[in-house]
Structure 1
Amino acid sequence: MTIISALHVNLRGNAREALEFYQSVFGGELTAFPYGDTPSGQGPDQADQVAWGEVSTPDGFRIMAYDIQDSLEYHPGENAFYSALRSPDADVITAAFTGLSAGATVLVPLGPVGFSPLYGKLVDKFGVVWILDVIPRW
């Protein structure tokens, strides 16, 4: 059995923009299914918004996003979470951190820490908190 873990980001009206940004950072395939194509779609104001979307890469990276229905309350950051990216390859972590840094607030600059040879933390331009680190070889 294969289980894939993916972060699911809940946004209000900019899920497609977020998915396009993540695809520009990580590559891969972007799939976005709009509310207008769903039998239980939202009102006309949400017809072009994302009911289900994902960016996936051949090496296993996945992130999902959708635009929360207009009928639901939305309070960005109320349910905080981190998206953790880990790799044994410092170049992969550096490239991801650099890409995600566009328009971001860097909380911890990429550098060595006690538990990892390379670690960083940032809040991207969509308010998603990312922690990135190199998996140490003990």
Structure 2
Amino acid sequence: MSLNAVTHLNFRGQAREALDFYASVFGGKATIATYGDFGMPADLPGAANVVFGQVVADNGFRVMAYDVPGADQPFTPGEPTTRRENGTTITTEPFFLSVRGESVEEVGPLWERLAEGATVVEPFGPAQWAPAFGMLTDRFGVTWILDVAAAY
């Protein structure tokens, strides 16, 4: 038997844009179904919102997302909820989304694309525990860790 944990992100009207962006960063294909596709009348607010969406890439990347029903206002980031202070990460977030690759050449370009419009928490570069590590909060409010697996 095999299990896979797949992150499922919740948005408020931005799921399509986020899924398209993640497909452009990590490769793969976005599959999107709307509330209208599932029978909601097209003239109702939210019918074009995403009820099921995912990005699946050949490199193993996978993420799911949808638009929370009835929530038409995007999540609005206020004060940063994740920051670095005195060499430690301070956060109020319940999770980070982590992507790990085997080389800087593989992960570096992903970082560059994901960083477009993001707030960088920790720049991507060498770390004591990994050949490269970085943390950012993307333009949709999702905090990501990208790193390169250490050779043991």
TM-score (norm 2): 0.81
Cα deviation per residue 1:85-107 (whole Å; 9 max; x = unaligned)?
Answer: 01112112101111100000011
Cα deviation per residue 1:105-127 (whole Å; 9 max; x = unaligned)?
Answer: 01100111111110000000000
1:113 is matched with: 127
- Structure 1 position 75, deviation (Å): 6.0
Higher helix share: 1
Matched, 1:51 2:51: yes
CA contact (8 A) 1:5 1:62 kept: no
2:25 is paired with a residue whose SS is helix
**1:103 maps to amino acid:** G
**2:3 maps to amino acid:** I
Q: Report the Cα distance in structure 2 between the residues aligned to 1:13 and 1:75, rounded to whole angstroms.
A: 9
Q: Report the Cα distance in structure 2 between the residues aligned to 1:71 and 1:64, rounded to whole angstroms.
A: 18
Matched, 1:89 2:110: no
1:47 is paired with a residue whose SS is coil
Using the aligned pairs only, state the percent identity. Answer: 40
Q: Report the Cα distance in structure 1 between the residues aligned to 2:145 and 2:76, rounded to whole angstroms.
A: 19
Where does structure 1 lack aligned partners over 5 or more consecutive residues?
A: none
2:13 is matched with: 13
2:45 is paired with a residue whose SS is helix
**1:26 maps to amino acid:** F
Where does structure 2 lack aligned partners over 5 or more consecutive residues?
A: 78-91
- Structure 1 position 76, deviation (Å): 6.0
Q: Report the Cα distance in structure 2 between the residues aligned to 1:120 and 1:136, rounded to whole angstroms.
A: 14
